[in-house]
């Protein structure tokens, strides 16, 4: 295969856009927490970049796309440290079927692993040890993310080569199962194992900086064009379709969320708009290449409505999913995965395709939830008595930024007023 410079340029651009999403997530999450823990929240995203960025090169790529072991994982030693993944026997760069060097694909896929880990952190804001989080990040990406990526994209159990393909080929264009259901299920389990923040349900825990939230949402939306458009793996019509569907579904989700807020609460809020952006982006991720732009409107608006209601479940059911990872990523990810069974233009129920695609989409969604939940629970339970999850009550009350990182995001500012330095 000859090098396609246009496709290669697009994939390098897409990888860069997806990497930008994690700092964007840091801003989004950082603005949603209280001012005393904003740096810790952002550090959890940057920590995910650091840990996953190294592990992916060592064994992540091989576990995701190496030779199959039982339909669950790739052989971690097959291409350990990318041996055999960059050059052919003649010393030339390996080129994939789209004319893109394989090393570019490695970089693109690494960014997906990075943001998936970072997404989980929003469920346990304000209360966990940074060191334990870093260890968990490395373990979780190894035992939950890489196997899921292999099962769905690497020729494993949930791929087009798996046992369910005899019913209908599973569809996950850019990560409904691998990224969002995976992270959302893990977030729910961690929130339950770690426990609630002190004062949850009795004290106000409002976002301290909605400007940061809106900026973060904007960067996530911008980066998502690499996430979905890049998943076409070349610059072609599928990339264009994914781009348009991503924009349309996200816009529709914002409308859906804001309508719910207005009818339920009396006001359409900036936090609701930003959350609607993310819900729409999540839902269209698995479906971006298989639904029409018209269909994407329904994917988006239903995601916005479902997630707007789902974020309130934590108060009714008593789990502290701090920044609504479950309500947005798990719920919208499940809907987006199932929506393909209804709205896929070639195999969807509403297009005369019968129920087979819907059945397969439901199966892969359930498998993703169960697999992620079990792996996360085992890891969380092991870490709880060994390293410990919770910071001290004093650190949580006074501020995790100062207690853990010896820093404050807003030096010289307290309770909205500038503290004037008293000079002798």
Q: Helices (DSSP H) in 33-96: which residue ranges?
A: 38-55, 61-65
Angle 49-206-401 from CA coordinates, rounded to 5°: 45
Whole-number Å distance between alpha carbons of 377 and 17: 32
Q: Which residue has the tokens 């708009």?
A: 273
Q: Which residue has the tokens 């030779």?
A: 67
Q: How far is CA 384 from CA 129, 189, 377, 416, in A?
A: 11, 13, 10, 37
H or E stretch covering 414: strand 413-414
- Contact by Cβ (8 Å): 45, 66: no
End-to-end Cα spacing for the chain: 74
Domain boundaries of the chain, sorted by first residue: 5-405
Task: Write down the architecture of domain 5-405 according to CATH.
Answer: Orthogonal Bundle (1.10)
Q: Could you write out the DSSP letters of every residue in 190-247?
A: HHHHH-PPTTTTTS----S-HHHHHHHHHHHHHHHHHHHHGGGSSSSHHHHHHHHHHH
Say whether 189 sits in a helix, a strand or coil: helix
Whole-number Å distance between alpha carbons of 67 and 69: 7
Cα 31 versus chain centre, distance:
18
Tokens encoding 197? 């923040």
Cα 124 versus chain centre, distance:
15
- Residue 66 gets the label, from left (phi > 0), alpha (psi -120 to 50) or beta, of beta
Query: pLDDT of the chain along its 424 residues, tens only?
Result: 899 999 999 999 999 999 999 999 999 999 999 999 999 999 999 999 999 999 999 999 999 999 999 999 999 999 999 999 999 999 999 999 999 999 999 999 999 999 999 999 999 999 999 999 999 999 999 999 999 999 999 999 999 999 999 999 999 999 999 999 999 999 999 999 999 999 998 888 999 999 999 999 999 999 999 999 999 999 999 999 999 999 999 999 999 999 999 999 999 999 999 999 999 999 999 999 999 999 999 999 999 999 999 999 999 999 999 999 999 999 999 999 999 999 999 999 999 999 999 999 999 999 999 999 999 999 999 999 999 999 999 999 999 999 999 999 987 554 444 444 433 3
């Amino acid at each position: 295969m000859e090098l396609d410079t246009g496709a290669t340029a697009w994939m390098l651009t897409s990888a860069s856009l997806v990497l930008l999403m994690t700092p964007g997530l840091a801003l989004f999450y950082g603005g949603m927490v209280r001012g005393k823990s904003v740096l810790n929240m952002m550090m959890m995203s940057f920590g995910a970049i650091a840990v996953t960025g190294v592990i992916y090169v060592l064994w992540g790529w091989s576990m995701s796309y190496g030779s199959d072991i039982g339909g669950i994982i790739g052989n971690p030693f097959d291409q350990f440290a990318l041996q055999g993944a960059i050059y052919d026997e003649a010393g030339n760069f390996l080129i994939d079927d789209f004319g893109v060097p394989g090393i570019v694909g490695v970089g693109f896929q690494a960014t997906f692993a990075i943001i998936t880990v970072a997404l989980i952190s929003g469920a346990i804001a304000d209360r966990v040890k940074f060191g334990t989080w870093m260890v968990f990040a490395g373990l979780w990406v190894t035992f939950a993310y890489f196997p899921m990526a292999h099962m769905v994209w690497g020729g494993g159990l949930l791929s087009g080569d798996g046992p369910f393909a005899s019913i209908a080929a599973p569809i996950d264009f850019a990560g409904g199962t691998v990224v969002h259901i995976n992270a959302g299920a893990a977030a729910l389990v961690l929130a339950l194992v770690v426990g609630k923040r002190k004062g949850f349900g009795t004290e106000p825990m409002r976002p301290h900086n909605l400007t940061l939230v809106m900026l973060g949402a904007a960067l996530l939306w911008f980066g998502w064009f690499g996430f979905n458009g890049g998943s076409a793996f070349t610059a072609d019509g599928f990339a264009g379709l994914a781009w348009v569907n991503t924009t349309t579904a996200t816009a529709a989700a914002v409308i859906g969320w804001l309508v719910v807020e207005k009818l339920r609460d009396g006001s359409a809020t900036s936090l609701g708009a930003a959350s609607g952006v993310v819900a729409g982006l999540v839902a269209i991720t698995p479906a971006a290449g298989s639904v029409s732009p018209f269909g994407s409107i329904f994917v988006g608006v239903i995601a916005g409505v479902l997630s707007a209601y789902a974020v309130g479940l934590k108060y009714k059911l008593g789990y502290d999913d701090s920044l609504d990872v479950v309500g947005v990523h798990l719920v919208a990810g499940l809907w987006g995965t199932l929506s393909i069974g209804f709205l896929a233009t070639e195999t969807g129920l509403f297009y005369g395709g019968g129920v087979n695609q819907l059945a397969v989409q439901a199966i892969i969604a359930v498998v993703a939830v169960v697999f992620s939940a079990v792996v996360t629970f085992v890891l969380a339970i092991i870490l709880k008595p060994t390293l410990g999850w919770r910071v001290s009550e004093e650190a949580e009350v006074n501020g995790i930024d100062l207690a853990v990182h010896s820093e404050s995001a807003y030096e010289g500012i307290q309770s909205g007023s500038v503290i004037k330095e008293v000079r002798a």
